[in-house]
Amino acid sequence: MPDQSIPQARTATEVSEAAESAGGRGISRRALLGTAGATGLVLGAAGGAVGYTAAPAPATPLTSVGSDRAMFHGKHQPGITEGLQARSHLVAFDLTAGAGRKEAAALLRRWSTTAERLMTGEAAPHDDTDVARDAGPSSLTITFGFGYSFFGKTGLEKQRPSALDPLPDFSSDHLDKARSDGDLWVQIGANDALVAFHALRAIQKDAGGAARIRWQMNGFNRTPGATAHPMTARNLMGQLDGTRNPKPADTDFDRRIFVPSSGEPAWMANGSYAVVRRIRMLLDDWEKLSVPAQEAVIGRRKSNGAPLSGGDETTLMDLEKTDAKGEYVVPLNAHARITRPDKNGGAAMLRRPFSYHDGFDADGTPDAGLLFVCWQADPLRGFVPVQRKLDRGDALSQYIRHEASGLFAVPGGAAKGEYVGQRLLEG
């Protein structure tokens, strides 16, 4: 009997038809890998007969990491409620001289087309670099937002949300203006480094002559599957980061994180506001502390994120619990105590940060820390009150330094056939 594991040969016509049915240039990287393998053909034999050769074995299926896919179209933009990805690029653009509303609309249309294709694992619509040719979507998300300055340059000042007013100054700020703000902001996240870079390069090329890069930052997190079970991410201080994050299952999640469908301005319906902060961690100083001292600064156990008052990571912190000396078990200036929503008038934000490492200073000090990204329906009721309170006495403040900042209005998701921001730019 013939070996049933040997795949059947395919004719040139069959392969051509397969490629044509897949949409010509639109054929996916995954389809390319599994169709004719690009090597299943030989040149026609003498006399015009079609040549045959055994097709290669079917491509190995993508792993779960590669096959995971986020949706571009929807009520909200991607990259907000999805799980943290392993790699990220945050990039801000400024419109070039002479570029206005018309050019911005064309740019967002190009960006949206590119984002939709890349998030499905397809090639960029033009001039694809093939960097991610062999990979699947890898949970790629691409998110777009508008900065305060965008509205003046496009003649849309009347459509600028009041929630986008510049953030107040904080005493912990040591901001580099060149790495802050921007007309347009793009957040790219993926579970594969090449997929993330491929998206970054495509977005940059799409900008063309309409916009230039103002700043760009690279981030990372633990790769999904690297731990025995899903868990809250750790930051570069070794602490679990995001324990008390609002969850989509919470009954008030949408109210806290997204602008309501009836909100103002109308083009921001179902959108959100992203605060972006580059927070340098003074790791040399931090790592000199004993573990108990580090835990006192944060208010939680380093090993499992449990509050110092007892329990596990999800146990509600008992702020009134005292020790044998009558002192609070969770210090008054502990970071976790100060940031509790019930101690900030209910202020809540969805933290979705990435760690970064940009090398070392001349003295060997690591330039590393957190690309802090948080989402809320209104930053004046989310980020600002919490940061003001931290500014007044957070024990963590002497171990971190805020070096860059931005605030961006991120409109709701694009419907099929729309591009992100269309209701603003064509309204």
Burial of 152 (0-12, 13-18, 19+ CB in 10 A): exposed
Q: Quick check: helix, strand or coil at residue 312? A: coil
CB 22 within 8 Å of CB 4: no
DSSP state of 81: S
- The total of other beta-carbon atoms located within 10 Å of residue 17's CB is 12
For residue 341, what are its two tokens? Answer: 């929503």
CB 219 within 8 Å of CB 355: yes
Provide CB contacts within 8 A for 158, sequence distance 6+: none
Cis peptide before 78 (omega within 30 of 0): no
- The total of other beta-carbon atoms located within 10 Å of residue 178's CB is 9
CB 85 within 8 Å of CB 189: yes
- The question of whether 312 is a catalytic residue gets the answer no
- How far apart CA 379 and CA 260 sit, in angstroms, is 15
- Output the DSSP codes for 388-406: HHHHTT-GGGGGEEEEEEE
DSSP state of 192: S
CA distances from residue 176 to 220, 294, 366 in whole angstroms, order as listed:
22, 28, 18
Q: Which of 68, 241, 378, 394 is catalytic?
A: 241
DSSP state of 293: H
Cα 408–Cα 414–Cα 415 angle in degrees, nearest 5: 165
Give the active site residues. 241
